[in-house]
Chains A and B, each alone.
Chain A
Amino acid sequence: MPLTALPSDLAERLDQFIRSLKKGELKGSYDVAHQTLLFLRRLISQSRWSTAKDLRERIRLEGKKLISTQPSESAIGNMVRRVLKIIWEEYVSIISGQGVDSGDTQESLQKMLRADVHVDDFSKPCPNLKGRVIESINELLSELEGSADSIATQALEHIHSSEVIMTMGKSRTVEAFLLNAGKSRKFQVIVVESAPSYQGQELAVNLAKKGNIETTVITDSAIYSPSWLDLKAVCGSHALALAAKHYSVPLIVCAPLFKLSPQFLCSEDQEAFNKFESPQNVVDFYESDIHAKVHIHNPVFDYVPPELVTLYISNIGGNAPSYVYRLLRELYHPDDYEI
């Protein structure tokens, strides 16, 4: 069945959202994920659909549009996949709860083998699917909102007294993490300032002011220079990770689950996932002589290979890199990896 057109106000909202994504008005993955979820919730409640299949089609369709506007922002795709998974779960639980299939919702090895539930093509009518899906999305939203806090509460398990922590740039999660640890422990932080945005300076100010934590700012080039003897690194760039590896210091990455993407980076070449902004912040356009002769790159992200990471701390706890596959399995449906 072909999908009907979106109601006009929804279509307009979608356009607006796409525009703000394109313009880069939303700063940070959290905002992007949050806005995506809000939009998807609206889509589910306001668009017309009769079966779970229709709904999934609709979300795939609009999700694709969103993803293509900012391919480097994985949070959009993640949220779309999470919602698809929610629909799938709710559908299965409703269908099985009705006693049609007489099965329980728990997955068991035997059931996976028989796989008869999965054959279902989501076309059966389910009465209160909408309500339950929206309820689950609301749960997801609150999980999203609480993710920084729940990561921060784990700080005490990882940061001990009189340790030295090195971090880079500014991340809300890391800031909350360190501030939380600073409440009860005394430790030092070295912040790498991360040119050209110099967000590290902001973080340092916040840490020193709000948390009264002993903070030092160093330049990007000085990553190797501090004494790494007693150090622990939290979240950073490739350079920081390499330095950590070199000195055999643990590297901890704080990331809420909405950032965890099932997409695999097939090339380490930065262009594949990175975002390149105007070189204005690196070299002023005003300067004339240099432009014709050099390439100036201003990437926003950096790639840290997984083998350099010791531990991922997400909102549901710390995980070793080798365990990430399991998290993926829990969060996303394998069918939805490719939207």
Chain B
Amino acid sequence: MSSKKDNSNRSSEILEQEDVLQALVIADSFNRKFLPLTVEKPRVLLPLVNIPLIDYTIEFLASSGVQEIFVFCCAHADQIKDHVNSSKWNQSNSPCTITTIVSDTCTSMGDAIREMESKKGVLRSHFILVNGDVISNMQLKDIVEIHKKRFLEDKSTVMTLINKQAKPGHRTRNREEEFLMVTGPSGRVLNFQRLQGKRKLKLPLNLFQEHSSMTVRHDLIDTHICVCTPRVVELFVDNFDYKTKNDFIRGLLINEEIEGNKLFLHVLRDEYATRVANLPLYDSVSKDMIHRWVFPVVPEHISPGGYSLRRHNQYLAKDVSLGRDCVLDEDVLVGSNTVIGDNTFISHSVIGSGCKIGSNVRLENAYLWDGVTVEDDCSVTFSILCNNVLVKSGSTIQTGCILSFQVVVGPNIIIQHGTLLTSLPQSQVMNSSDDFEETETSDLGNKDEIHPNPAVVGAEGKGHVWLPQEIFGEDEEEAEDLVGPPFGLNVSLDASCYDDSGDDSDEDSYISPSSSPPPDDTALFFSEVLESIQRTMEENVKVDNLILEVNSSKHAYNISIQELNQLVMKAVLELPHIKGQVKPAPLLQTMKKLVKKLSPLFINYFKNAASQLDCLRVIQEHCSNNSSTLAILPKFLLMFYEEDVLAEEVILSWYQQVPSSDQVHKVVTPFITWLQEADEESEEEEEDD
């Protein structure tokens, strides 16, 4: 073979050009979905159809013209680094440069991006953000062009999300990540909500007020590929509570009115893209791969050794030895140097290289990685057998099992449904590290402490039962992890309903349903307004000054006028409570004083019907939490009415909107009736009520 001359000069020249397309690959999932496999190997190096996941991601990026790739690794960083450095992408003739960035401290994708900020000048322009376990055959160029154009037209464009269309119930959908996406006509994302097992979702009212047309979609898969402007990194740094991309999207949409940042959606129809986010997806993506949905990323093209494709989607690598009367049914991929014995039946399976499969073996939906040995008369269904697993003769592995690296089972044993086996006892692994994807377990010395249980793994077996992880109760989305069987097609949907943030039902636009806390700015602004009002009352400052103060804090905290209205009203309502007046009578007195004094302020802010309506909604909300305010509500409204703060029509139209079941409705009905009567009298109508 001819060796290639080093041409690093050329690549460094390219780097100096302005429009180098960069990509940031997050080579860590920051979750435990693939345990116990990820104890020994990071997820991105797990083989899918005999090729490590990250190779697909890099191949995809390189073939869509990305010239500079950064691989960000945390757990098992050294393994990923070694892999990347020895890959073909690191050779001099590679079309892209690839750099690994290692950080041990990151615990989320947000951390990783924040880490990038400290490496100034690395991400210079628009870049692709992608997970290290994404598989795709799409071409990014056009999407990046559209993104850049959009950015030129509108500087507030922040990110283009790329989603793939697939019907609900599609096998390649991530059951744990069902979501609803609302987009405007230009593809701008208006609302994004995760279903998390809920059957009902609430869309904020202002969505419908502000947009004349929108699309609500539930037929999308998040590909975890997005095109980002450099601002994305800043935004992650500014909001250190963003952990995942979903946090980011949610936060961005909540703050949209303040910061004006916009997200856009690109929907793929013909091209394939998805993320191998959990074990059921590992299964379905493997099958998509074998069914050639990802063409031209198909086994015979991407594998270094190549495969020969035969009828019924059988892929055979070189030097495969097939025994007499052995049947490869369909959707079978066999790696190089694998020996398959007589009378063996294999269907829908992926078999790694260097495997030895005995006679009379039955493999269905099995994933055998490299160097697995299955002795005679065994049967494996819907299971993953990692590198160098040995299944001794006469054993049966039932559905949903995972046999991690080096495990030995048998002979003549039945491994029950959903058993997870590792070569090291779980306690040992868990003690040695509590990272998300474990760092390496270094000491293997005191292995004898716990002996393998022969009832589970068989007389000659070597392996320990790994109990599925308890949920670690953290506030991130991993909380709704699958509790059920970790592998297999029967993913229980009910398990994913674990969520406690679904009960927000605020009408107000400033707190849309989400588990994220309201942005800091709003809270700060609120306390400032509260203070200002308090001071005005106590020190008897002129109200005009108060208005000035409020206005200046509005600009300081970048608050929209609608929010300002709501917050001012809220502040006024809460002021007496801060002072400890909770009984209706003194409350009314204070309120009277307040309203009298502050009426210029109210008139200044609640100019039009919409803002007055907002004000009323805030009052309504406040009342629902507060019985004493509720008690004085009619008087309170009367005060406003008399001070000409609230117009009569607005009050009436607000009253129409209040549901009759609400307490507020009951309380204000007499007032409204009076108002209507007064109205009728003044207009000298002759109708009787």
Contact = CB atoms under 8 A, between A and B. Distances in A.
A278 B297 CA distance: 9
Contacts of A27: none
B10 interface: yes
B269 to A, nearest CB: 7
Interface in B263-304: 269-270, 272, 287-288, 291-296, 298, 301
Contacts of A291: 170-171, 287-288, 291
B607 interface: no
B2 interface: yes
Size bin of chain B's contact surface: 35 or more
B272 A278 contact: yes
Interface of A: 3-8, 11-12, 15-16, 19, 22-24, 61, 68, 269-271, 276-280, 284-289, 291-292, 295-296, 298
B311 to A, nearest CB: 6
B217 interface: no
A288 B168 contact: yes
A288 B331 CA distance: 18
Nearest to B315: A271
Given A7-B5, A295-B312, 5 more contacts: A5-B5, A279-B291, A289-B169, A291-B171, A296-B291
Nearest to B298: A276
B584 interface: no
A16 B95 CA distance: 8
A278 B312 CA distance: 15
Interface string B305-348: 01011111100000000000000001100000000000000000
A72 to B, nearest CB: 10
A295 B313 contact: yes
A260 B293 CA distance: 31
B7 interface: yes
Contact of A286 (B4, B167, B292): B167
B63 interface: yes
Contact of A276 (B168, B172, B309): B309
Contacts, number: 96
Nearest to B4: A11
A292 B93 contact: no
B507 interface: no
Contacts of B172: 285
Interface in B541-565: none
Contacts of B169: 288-289
Nearest to B306: A68
27 contacts: A5-B3, A6-B5, A11-B2, A11-B4, A11-B7, A11-B93, A15-B93, A16-B95, A22-B296, A22-B301, A23-B63, A23-B296, A269-B310, A271-B308, A271-B311, A278-B272, A278-B295, A280-B270, A285-B172, A285-B272, A286-B219, A288-B171, A291-B170, A295-B313, A295-B330, A295-B331, A296-B291
Contacts of B4: 5-6, 8, 11
A266 to B, nearest CB: 12
Contact of B93 (A4, A12, A22, A289): A12
B166 A286 contact: yes
B100 interface: no
Contacts of B293: 278-280, 285
A285 to B, nearest CB: 6
Q: Which of B164, B166, B172, B292 is most buried by chain A, counting CB atoms within 10 A of its CB?
A: B292
Contacts of B313: 295
